Chains A and B, each alone.
Chain A
């Protein structure tokens, strides 16, 4: 054990060589996939059009915004939250309840955000104390979904059209949907926060090394609370946008029946992973996440145009996650020694 590590670290400062086959195997594999993708993109009718491009980005927006929120959690080394869709469910119910009682858009938005902040800070507190993020958020997911269904009696809550939330859901500027614009703005803002502010650099620091963070006075407790609040608020925003689109809300809007690809939370996590963020923290960016969202959305769109059912589409997203895990495991093995 020790002798091998020594001999390896003698070579070039702890950097292990990955074999020729592995290095070019990965490149070859990705290249083949890219060629297949380009071939189908060109031969599929109506795929490479401006209208379809807008559709792809619009589809990516809802998942993308949530995934941008989750990226903060992932980079800070707290893995991921399994309660994303349940937070959105409770927020959407809070929003629709307020809208149907004519509180106006702003107050309803505030109610949804408040719900998200409270639930996010409680989860963040438990995670920061040292609870496993997966288990904590699994439990929180049960509570949040239960509360949402209980509050709404598991019924659809609809509010009158026209209302002052429609601009967010269905409105557009110069033919570009507002939700797409919001996606781009949020992505830019998140990237700025991560790169340029003190807080963003702390996120990277704590994600890269808990011990280093603690030694420099940055405990994970406050960080976990902050990043969980960010992720939850992103969920609330998506919930509000989605509810504004439908002018209604139900607790299970974000459950398996939503969209094409199985479970919404897992789709969000898939977006973060496929974008190429390090799941153990310290490495990644929201730009990668946004690109991941667009990538998944464009593949999904291509498969829809080719007439695939939901089975192969869910399968393809699953394969994307697993391949990205395998590829990044290889890359990590190549760049950094294990010990």
Chain B
């Protein structure tokens, strides 16, 4: 009964939950080591990295746009944080890196709204631009920490599954979720995604939600990049290219629609967890990284195929409905004319 209710309310989310549980149980049964507390901790550590980036991309797709520069933005934040962590201290450098990422996101949002271009067009440019900036910021080499105190701190085990990094990510996810759900600004973001023309016609400015959503996504990408950089102690200016694919898979499993206006933070979390189960499970079975990419790609294409099919099916239904209506109208007209 309860399950049926959830299914009818949010089929995409139910699908995502089923998929993630299925994946988890497959790996748990195939490898006894997978179903342990330590693996849970490892999965949460991965979640700390991918969760925020997946969330950032989910927000953009909710607004009906895709931010391709998310990996570059995260890499830039990582480079800034790692480079200045020794001289300025970790908190200041994190603040600097995250502020940079947020400002970059906000600028992108402003340009997209002001120039009236699609986000993919602009962000493909900033993808390259930010790579250049981060090469610049890193002096074209891999930057490294010398003091690993922060690295140790954010990886200490708290509770069974959590570390300061993953707790921070969960708290941020909750805040963003509340923001999207219960504030006017969050609803505006949904509005410009699902029905942009209608939203603009009813007086929602395109600029504000666009700046907001890209600033939010830049912020998430920045924090994600900072965590990645601090945790490994190194940052590569050309690194983190794999994030875009993984985050896209996470977002689409989480139930966003490419047309925008659908999906949410819970979906993003479930999607990210699914990707993490897949990743961790495949690593347990000693699979090379490039084979993981094949699985991720297949997963993404399958979800897209389902989504396109359902859109086509809905269109067909609509067309049939219209035909039915006109047929009835015709009959009524014929009936009235014959009476006369």
Contact = CB atoms under 8 A, between A and B. Distances in A.
B115 to A, nearest CB: 4
B125 A322 contact: yes
A150 B132 contact: no
Given A129-B312, A279-B121, A309 B300 contact: no
B298 to A, nearest CB: 6
A317 B121 CA distance: 15
Main secondary structure of the interface of A (DSSP, over half): helix
A315 B291 contact: no
A177 interface: no
A146 B293 contact: yes
Interface centre among A256, A261, A280, A316 (most CB of B within 10 A): A256
Interface stretch (A34-42, A135-143, A224-232, A282-290): A135-143
Contacts of A310: 135, 140
Contacts of B285: none
B297 A142 contact: yes
Nearest to A79: B120
B304 interface: yes
Contacts of A321: 124-125, 128-129
A82 B301 CA distance: 14
21 contacts: A129-B308, A138-B245, A138-B248, A138-B300, A139-B245, A143-B297, A144-B297, A145-B290, A146-B290, A261-B128, A262-B128, A266-B124, A269-B124, A273-B121, A279-B117, A309-B140, A311-B132, A315-B135, A319-B132, A321-B124, A321-B125
Given A129-B312, A135-B66, A318 B129 contact: yes
B145 interface: no
Contacts of B248: 135, 138-139
Interface in B257-287: 258
A152 to B, nearest CB: 10
Contact of A141 (B136, B238, B245, B249): B245
Interface string B211-250: 0000000000000000000000000011001001100110
B122 interface: yes
Contact of B140 (A311, A325, A330, A338): A311
Nearest to B259: A132
A134 interface: yes
Contacts of B238: 256, 262
Contacts of A147: 294
Contact of B300 (A1, A135, A269): A135
Interface of B: 66, 68, 111, 115-118, 120-122, 124-133, 135-136, 139-140, 201, 237-238, 241, 244-245, 248-249, 252, 258, 288, 290-301, 304-305, 307-309, 311-312
B294 A146 contact: yes
A143 B296 CA distance: 8
B78 to A, nearest CB: 16
Contacts of A280: 118
Contacts of A150: 288, 290-291, 294
A104 interface: no
A123 to B, nearest CB: 9
A212 B127 CA distance: 34
A314 interface: yes
B135 A311 contact: yes
Interface residues of A, number: 56
Q: Which 5 residue pairs are nearest across A and B when measured between Cβ atoms?
A: A315-B132, A318-B129, A142-B297, A146-B294, A139-B300
B269 to A, nearest CB: 20
B129 A263 contact: no
A149 interface: yes
Given A317-B128, A321-B129, A329-B115, 17 more contacts: A132-B258, A135-B258, A138-B244, A139-B297, A140-B297, A142-B245, A142-B297, A143-B301, A146-B293, A154-B290, A269-B124, A273-B121, A280-B118, A311-B132, A315-B133, A316-B132, A318-B132
Interface in A281-335: 309-319, 321-322, 325-326, 329-330, 333
B236 to A, nearest CB: 10
B128 A270 contact: yes
A62 B131 CA distance: 22
B292 to A, nearest CB: 8
Interface string A123-136: 00010011110111
